[in-house]
Amino acid sequence: MTAHQPKPSRIDWLTLLIYAILVCFGLVCIYASVFKETHPHIWDTSQNYGKQLIWIGVSSIVGLMILVIDEKFFFAFAYFIYGFSIILLIAVLGFGTTVNGSSSWIEIGGFRMQPAEFAKFGTALALAKYLSGYNVNFEKNRKVQIISALLIFTPMLIILLQNETGSTLVFASFIFVLFREGLPGWILLAGFTFIVLSILALLYPPVYLIIGVSILAVIFLLLVRRTRSLVLITIGAVVVAGLFVSSIDYAFQNVLQAHQRSRINVLLGKNVDIKGAGYNVQQSKIAIGSGGLWGKGPLQGTQNKFRFVPEQSTDFIFCTIGEEYGFAGSVAFIGFYVFLLYRLLLMAERQRQKFNRIYGYSVVCILFFHFLINVGMTLGLMPVIGIPLPFISYGGSALLSFTILLFIFIRLDANRVNELRTAFD
């Protein structure tokens, strides 16, 4: 078998274009959100936009390097990369710099990096490699399922220990990948039900919920053909739901930290504390809401310019879009982002190698999860969890890791033609 160099034309230029547009738009938004009259130049490296510009350069170079590396490299070094990111994560636990309460940063020469960002594509690579192995059947083999879960939970746990809830939750996005690879739909549904139940449990006393679930179960049993096992399963589900609902309340009061409790309360609209925990969300909604239909225009957002929204250039970057470009701009942005996700989904599905496909799905799901939480948070629909909006938010290591994440996939995708050719050789 002869090795074939991938033809450059096979690189998915459309995705690269979308990436470029998003990154440039992100830079414009960062510029708008931290703009100071005293530092008007976008290449002023003392400001966030100047720093971001440097990071864009770095990311481009790294991205370019990835595109010229042999695609087999990623398959071969998947476990190594995964292992290295785990070591980094553990190292951070010991020597990390604490920023905003989470000790998840490594500081090198003035630039801070967050290993958790790199653990994302490390995990994606490792999971893809493991599941694409011979005789590995995720659907049927219990052992495979457990190992997959371990691959995901290990970095999750370390990141949780670093007090970095946001990044921890991002790993939940792998559930969609596993769903694609054969995880039964009911687990996804059960997970969703549990989320709904948890929210309800925080809003209402558990007794009401248990009664409600029981009534639903009775109605369900009346409507379907009752087999013995179905009745048992239903009763079991009700009992589990009851226990779950009761334990949520306990966990909320005893396990969660005060600031997390208050964030959840704010989200649920329980005690909206405009000055305290609710401040971010309230200001975020004000900024977005005041944008109106057409927005205030670039650099015209008063809420932005005058720093009413905290973390404006990082976690709350969507406020800039909402305020300065209005409803029209926000819809266009969301449309554009979903188009990227759709494009990546198509690309993932067209992969012939399992490794490529699983990795592709990981990329889509990680990006989607960030989008879901980040934008939902600025709109007051999701709890305030500090995770960036990929390619848009300010943050060097985030941009770099998302670039690596995406470009590895573009590189893998570019090879599919060569695989075809190999097949016909």
Partner 1 sequence: MRSGEKQITLLIIFLSVALIYIARLFYLQVIDTSYVYFAQNNVLQEQTIYPARGLIYDRNGELLVYNDAIYDLSVIPEQVKNLDTLAFCNVLNLTKEEFIATFARLRRQKGYSPWRPIVFQRQITIPTYAAFQEKLYDFQGFFVEVRTDRKYKHSNAAHVMGYIGEVSEKQIENSNGYYRMGDFVGQSGVERTYEKVLGGVKGTRYVLVDSKSRTQGRYKNGEFDTAALAGKNIHLTINLKLQQLGEALMKNKIGSIVAIEPSTGEVLSLVSSPTYDPNLLVGRERGNMYMQLLKDPYKPLFNRPISAPYPPGSIFKVIMSLMGQQEGVLTPATSYGCHGGYLFVGCHPHGSPLQLRGAIAVSCNAYFCQVYRSVVNNPKYKHVEDAYQKFYDHAYSFGMGHQLGIDLFGEGPGVLKKSTYFDKIYGRYRWQALTTISMGIGQGELGITPLQMANATAAIANKGYFITPHIVKKIDNKSNPNPSFNKKNWTSVDTGYFQVVIDGMQDVVEHGTAYIARIPNITVCGKTGTAQNPHGKDHSVFFAFAPKENPKIAIAVFVENAGFGATWAAPIASLMIEEYLTGKHETRKYLLDRMLNADLIKRNDSTSAKAK
Residue 342: how many other CB atoms lie within 10 Å? 11
Rounded to the nearest whole angstrom, what is the least distance from the CB of residue 317 to partner 1 in the complex? 15
Binder among 93, 289, 417, 419 for partner 1 (CB under 8 A): 289
Ranges within 293-352 binding partner 1 (CB under 8 A): 293, 302-303, 305-308, 322, 326-327, 330-331, 334-335, 337-338, 341-342, 345, 349
- Tell me the C-alpha distance between 7 and 51, whole Å: 34
- Tell me the C-alpha distance between 76 and 299, whole Å: 47
Site string for partner 1, 357-396 (x = CB under 8 A): -------xx--x--xx--xx--xxx---------------
Closer residue to partner 1 (CB): 105 or 409: 409
Closer residue to partner 1 (CB): 60 or 290: 290
Q: Does 212 bind partner 1 (CB under 8 A)?
A: no
For residue 99, the SS3 value is strand
In the numeric block, which tokens belong to residue 112? 């801070």
Binder among 101, 236, 292, 297 for partner 1 (CB under 8 A): 292
Rounded to the nearest whole angstrom, what is the least distance from the CB of residue 122 to partner 1 in the complex? 23
Q: Does 115 bind partner 1 (CB under 8 A)?
A: no
Closer residue to partner 1 (CB): 330 or 393: 330
- Tell me the C-alpha distance between 344 and 121, whole Å: 15
Q: Does 355 bind partner 1 (CB under 8 A)?
A: no
**Total chain residues near partner 1 (CB under 8 A):** 43
C-beta pairs of 48-53 under 8 Å, 24+ apart in sequence: 48/313, 48/394, 49/394, 51/394, 51/396, 52/26, 52/27, 52/394, 52/396, 52/399, 53/27
Distances (CA, A) of 16 to 10, 74, 124, 175, 330: 12, 19, 20, 27, 22
Nearest alpha carbon to residue 415 among 365, 360, 340, 368: 360
Q: Are 246 and 204 in contact (CB under 8 A)?
A: no
Q: Does 220 bind partner 1 (CB under 8 A)?
A: no
- Tell me the C-alpha distance between 251 and 234, whole Å: 25
Q: Does 416 bind partner 1 (CB under 8 A)?
A: no
- Residues forming contacts to partner 1 in the complex (CB under 8 A) are 176, 179-180, 185, 283, 285-293, 302-303, 305-308, 322, 326-327, 330-331, 334-335, 337-338, 341-342, 345, 349, 364-365, 368, 371-372, 375-376, 379-381
